[in-house]
Amino acid sequence: MPKSNLKHIFVIPTLFLVLLLSIVLDNHIGSVQRQVNREYDRIMDSLQRSIKVMISLDYNLSQLYKQSSGGFYNHNFELDEQAGLCVIRPSNDQSAVMANQDVSVPNSRLDYSIAGSEALCEPNSELHEIASKKVILAPVISFIHDYESYLHGIYFISKYDYIISSPKQIAENLTKQTLDTIYSRPYWTNSMKNTNRKHVTFTPPYTDAFFDGLEVLTFSTPIYYKDLFKGVLVIDLSVEKLLRSNSDVSKHIQLLESDKYERFEQYRFMQPVTLSDTNFTYFLYYKSSIKEELISFLTHDIKSLTLIFVTYILAVLSMFYYQTHLSQRYYRDLAKQDPMTGLYNRRGFEMSLQDRVVKKFVGFALYDIDDFKQINDVFGHDVGDEAIIYVAKILNKSVRDSDIVSRFGGEEFVICINAESRASLENICERVRKSIQDSSGKVVKGGFTVSGGVAVIDSQQDFSFEHVIKKADDLLYKAKQDGKNRVYFS
C-alpha cells in the first residue's frame, strides 16, 4: 500500500476526531460556565436574602423598644457561676413559650439562648426588664436561622451586656470575659462607626472562635431607638455552606477581595458581587487545575467520548478497507499499463478484449514507427521516447472510447477496432497513419511516419489472438518492405 494511502487512513479520521473533541470540549466548557453562573446567582441571591433578613430584623427589633412591658414566659434561668453569666433557655414546650407572645412562628425546634451578666437572672433588675422586652424576637430568629443552612448564626448584642443568639451555642459558649471581648470585635466597632443607619456593615471572612471554629463572614447593623444606640444585630454566614451546593462546580468557587483582583486575573469566570446598602466588595471566581478540569471532562462526557472514539476506530477500519481496495485496484491497473505512455500493455490488452464492444468487424491494427533506430541515433533516446509518447497520444485521439489502444513494447502499438463496415475500419486506420505523418514534426525535426498491418475478421468467427496478431505482423512487415508509411489490410 502506498505511504500516502497509509497517511490518509489515519489523518482524515484524526482530523474529524479532533474536530468532534473540540466540539464536545467547547460544549463542556459552555456547560461548566452555565453551571458556574447558576451557582453565582444562587450565592448572590443568598447574600441578598441575608441583607433583607437583616433589614427586617432591624425594623422589628427597633419596634420592640416601644413596648412598655415584656416577660420571659416558660423560660429556664441558669446562673453559670463558672462562666460568670446568666443563661436563659426556652422551655421544651414550644406552645407554652409562645402562649403569651404577640408573634407566631411555624412549628419547629426553638434553638436560641439568652446570655448576659448575672443581673439578667434577677427578676427585679433593670437588665432583666430590658431583656424581657426583646425575648419576643428570639423564636423568630431561631426559625430564620433554621430556614437556611448557610446561616451560621443570628444574634443581637445589646450594649447592656447581654446577647440573644440562634443557635443557642453562641450565647451558651460565652463567658463573662468573652462577652466583654465581643465589644471589641470588628463587627461591633465597625457598626459603631456606621453613621448611616440604613447601611449594613460587612466584615470579611474570619474564623469564629466562640462557636465551632468555622470560617464565617458577617453582616451587622447598629440598632437605634429615638436616636439612641441600643446594640448591634449580627448575621454570620458560613463561607463553606454559602459557596457549596450539590453541584460539582461549586467546590471550585472562591471569594476574592477586590483589591486582590489583579493578582488573580488568570482565574476564569470572574464576577464582581455588588450588594446594595453594604460595603461588600468581593469577586466570585472559579479556581480549578487542568488536572481537575480534565477529570471532570472525562467523567461528565464519558458517553460522548466513548461514542467518538468508537466512531474513530470504525472510521480508521473503514478507511483501511477502502484504501486497501483502492491499492489493490491501483496495482491491478498498474500491472496492465505501460508505464511510459499510460496505454495498456500486452497483458492489459488481452484482458480488455473480454469487455470490448462487439460490432460486425474487428480489426487488430499493428503500428510501428518507421526508422525509429535512426531517430534514436540522430536525435537521442530522449527524443525517441517523446516520439513514442506522441504516437500514443495520437492513437488515443484518433480512435473511439470503445476501441482498445496498447503498446506491446519498443515502438510497436496494437489497436483493437470494432466497426459496422470494413470501409469504416479502414478509414480509421488510415486516419491514424496520416495524422502522425502530418503532425510528427512537432516532436522530431522533419517528422516521422508509421507503418501498419491490420488483420480484419468477422466478429462472429472464432479467432486466436496469437493468430490474428501474427497475421497483422506479417502485413506490417510487408508494408515496411514496400516503402513504409502505409497500412495493409487482410
Q: 124 lies in a domain?
A: yes
Q: 481 lies in a domain?
A: yes
Is pLDDT at 292 greater than 90 in this prediction?
no
Which residue is associated with the grid cell 423598644? Answer: 65
pLDDT at 273: 87
Is pLDDT at 156 greater than 90 in this prediction?
yes
Is pLDDT at 31 greater than 80 in this prediction?
yes
Same domain, 219 and 78: yes
Is pLDDT at 403 greater than 70 in this prediction?
yes
Reduced 3-state DSSP string for 249-301 = HHHHEEEEEHHHHHHHCCCEEEEEEECCCECCEEEEEECCCHHHHHHHHHHHC
Domain containing residue 464: CATH number: 3.30.70.270
Final residue in a domain of this structure, among 245, 279, 303: 245
Q: 78 lies in a domain?
A: yes
Burial state string for 102-126 with b = 16 or more CB within 10 A and e = fewer than 16: eeebeeeebbbbbbbbbbbbeeeee
Same domain, 102 and 229: yes
Same domain, 351 and 485: yes
Same domain, 204 and 90: yes
Same domain, 351 and 222: no
Q: 179 lies in a domain?
A: yes
Q: 328 lies in a domain?
A: no
Q: 230 lies in a domain?
A: yes
Residue 265's pLDDT band (cuts 50, 70, 90): low
Residue 260's pLDDT band (cuts 50, 70, 90): low
Same domain, 236 and 127: yes
Range of lowest pLDDT (18-32, 229-243, 276-290): 276-290
pLDDT at 95: 55
Higher pLDDT, 62 or 128: 128
Interval 451-477 mean pLDDT: 86
Same domain, 97 and 227: yes
Domain span at residue 435 reads 346-489
Burial state string for 398-415 with b = 16 or more CB within 10 A and e = fewer than 16: bbeeebbbbbbeebbbbb
Interval 132-140 mean pLDDT: 90
Same domain, 89 and 232: yes
Final residue in a domain of this structure, among 212, 245, 278: 245
Query: Most distant CA pair in the chain: distance in Å?
Result: 153
Total tally of structural domains belonging to the chain: 2
Q: 276 lies in a domain?
A: no
- pLDDT tens for each residue of 411-423: 889 988 888 888 8
Final residue in a domain of this structure, among 245, 263, 284: 245
Q: 482 lies in a domain?
A: yes
Domain containing residue 175: CATH number: 3.30.450.20
